[in-house]
Each structure stands twice: as structure tokens, then as C-alpha cells.
Amino acid sequence: MRSIESVEEGSLAQRSLLSQLPLPLPLPRLLPPLVLLLLLLASLTAGCIAPEEQSDNQISVIVSILPQKEFVERIGEEKVSVTVMIPPGASPATYEPGPGQLKDVSRAELYVRIGHIPFEKAWMGEIAAANPDMKILDSSEGIEIIKNDPHIWLSPALVRIQVEHIAGSLIEIDPDNEDYYTRNKESYLRDLDDLDADIRKNLSGISNRKFMIFHPSWGYFAREYGLEQIPIEVEGKEPSASDLMRLVETAKADNITVVFAAPQFNPESARVIAEEIGGTVVSIDPLAEDCAANMRAVSGTLGRYMTS
């Protein structure tokens, strides 16, 4: 299969050759009106990708971030169709939804908020107005939010609470399948117990329980497992030169040899600190789609780098 680049290059070459040929008559006079209409429609629809079809008996669910997709799908399985508002690689602090996404919202039955991310604070009014009949669930209900930290999906104990909320909402919408949702919920909760055990095993051998990270997204995870995250960014602000000097001294004093970054943020500050301490930068993603697998993998990464 030819790549997009090669197809475009071929098209340019063909157009270049065609431009050198004489045209005895203007193109519209050579083609019947129906053909011209079909060509116009083809040009308007080129590049469009049709969305996957949703079964009539599925519950349409909207979530804000990728990790929530796992929560809903593990409980609802084939009875739900899940749409994620913030795409991979985008930041929940700056992302703005497009008109097509608001159209998806207008057809949804349930919106599951993560609770406190900037995207929701900025856009939930318009999202709710797009579909007044849609149920909106705040999955952070009953969770103690620490210092406005929204990252409640990065703690197995807090995910359990969110899963209970989601199961309750699906049962409320589709009470005939209560047993189905309950069985799936219980299965996922058992998997979260196994996840917790694996994380504790991965972290059991570490001697240094402090880690430095650009964006402070792992605070609840750190609290749950007796760790301390040292953030480079504070309240969304890049560190100043004096902040960087202080962080370098902190890293040296605490024997930190690795600085963690995230793909949603500029890693330059992390690189500067790592160079000054003779360390390295390692990326860990707080918004990976496979949330449980991601927490397990991150615990393994922390376990490897926090042994000194």
C-alpha cells in the first residue's frame, strides 16, 4: 500500500504533466452536469471517516478522559458504546471540544465526569446544555480531593469508588440488566485487588520513597503507597531559574537520579534537572487508556529507578 506522502507526490506529478497539455475546451463544457455534481460531492467528502456504528440496544456513554473508558467498558462490555472527549496526547487543561463532539453529546444517555479537571470546569455548562436529557454522573463523589488535585483515576482505591458510581448509573438507565452490570463490576473490583497487590510487590524493594516529576499527577498514587512526589511544575507554572536551582539541590540531597515526565507536557525542565544531577528523564503517562495496566507498569518503573 502506498503511503499518504507517496500518493500526494504522485498526484502532484500527474497535475504537473497535465498542466502542460492543451485543453481545447474548458472542463465544465466537456463534462455533463451530473458528472460535475458527483465530482463536487466526492471532493467535499474526501478524507471523512465514518464513525463506528452503535447498536440500538447499547447505552451511549461519554467520558472526559481515556482512563475512564476502561472503567465503563469493563462494567458495561457490549451493552455500552463509549466516546472519549479529550483525545490521546491532548491536555485536559487546554483542550476544547469540537462541534462534532457536542453532536455526540446530544445523542448520549450518560456523561461520566472525572470530577475536577479544567476541561470539565470550562465546558460542562455547554456539554449539559447540548443534551438536557442526558444523565451526568460526577464519579468523584465521596472522594476527598486534595489541594484541587483531579488525578483520582491513578489510585486503585479511588478507582473502586468510581466503578461503584458507574455501575449504579448504568443500572439506573438499564435496570433489566442489573445482574449483568453487577457481575462485571465485581469482576473488575477483584482485578483491582490484584492490581493493588502487584503494585505493593513492585514497590516493596525500594529504599528511596521520593520521586521527582514534572506534572504532579501521581499524588493519590503516592499517598496510597507511601511515596512522596516532588513536582517541578506548581499550579500549572513552569519553574523559574531559582526554582530549578532549588530542585537540583533537592534532588541531590534526596539521592534522586531520575526525573519523570509525561507526554502531554514539555520535558525541557525535567531534562535540565536531569543533566545537572547526572540523571535521566523517564516518561510515564497519566492518561494512558489501559488504566490498570498503566498503574502496574508505572509501579514497576518506579521500583526499578527508586532502589538507590
Residue 205 per-residue DSSP state: T
Biggest CA–CA distance in the chain, Å, is: 82
Q: 151 and 171 share a domain? A: yes
Grid coordinates 471532493 are at which residue?
43
Q: 180 and 226 share a domain? A: no
Q: 169 and 279 share a domain? A: no
Q: 165 and 216 share a domain? A: no
Return d(Cα 115, Cα 120) in angstroms, integer: 7
Identify the domain boundary among 199, 216, 244.
Answer: 199
Residue 287 lies in a domain: yes
What total number of domains does the chain contain?
Answer: 2
Residue 299 lies in a domain: yes
Return d(Cα 302, Cα 283) in angstroms, integer: 11
- CATH number, position 69: 3.40.50.1980
Q: 194 and 64 share a domain? A: yes
- State which residues form the domain around 136: 59-199
Identify the domain boundary among 163, 182, 199.
Answer: 199
Residue 64 per-residue DSSP state: S
Q: 237 and 296 share a domain? A: yes
Please report, in tens digits, the pLDDT of each residue of the chain (308 residues total). Answer: 333 333 333 333 333 333 333 334 343 343 444 443 334 333 333 322 223 455 668 999 999 999 999 999 999 999 999 999 999 988 898 999 998 898 899 999 999 999 999 999 999 999 999 999 999 999 999 999 998 999 999 999 999 999 999 999 999 999 999 999 999 999 999 999 999 999 999 999 898 999 999 999 999 999 999 999 999 998 788 899 999 999 999 999 999 999 999 988 888 999 999 999 999 999 999 999 999 999 999 999 999 988 75
Residue 54 lies in a domain: no
Residue 34 per-residue DSSP state: H
E strands, 140-209, in order: none
Half-sphere exposure of 144 (CA within 13 A, CB side): 6
Residue 175 lies in a domain: yes
pLDDT of residue 44: 32
Residue 159 lies in a domain: yes
Identify the domain boundary among 199, 215, 231.
Answer: 199
Q: 254 and 174 share a domain? A: no
Q: What is the pTM of this model?
A: 0.80
